[in-house]
Amino acid sequence: TEKDKRSAWLKWAAVDGAYAYNIYTGLAPDKLYSCIMVHGANDYYFKGMDKDRPYYFTIEALNENGVSARTPVLLTK
């Protein structure tokens, strides 16, 4: 956000039939070790960043058939 560089509002397009989303985050694009599950929404206010480090995110949709492919990894600074 503009006022607090330690937080980010993550928003993504809803997927038909998805009941939840997994948000993977980390400090490198190949080290996304943290996962946050979001139910019934297609946005999330993430407040777990250090203001002096870049963070990477990717998201996958879930339903009773399994998980989707992950979105391309995005960088936030």
Identify the residue with better confidence: 45 or 5.
45
Residue 58 C-beta-side C-alpha neighbours within 13 Å: 15
- Check residue 2 and give its pLDDT: 62
Q: Which residues in 49-66 are b (16+ Cβ under 10 Å) and which e?
A: beeeeebbbbbbbbeeee
Identify the residue with better confidence: 51 or 24.
24
Tell me the torsion sign for CA atoms 29, 73, 8, 33: negative
The pTM of the full predicted model, rounded to 2 decimals, is: 0.89
Tell which residue, 24, 26, 28, 33, has the closest CA to residue 60: 24
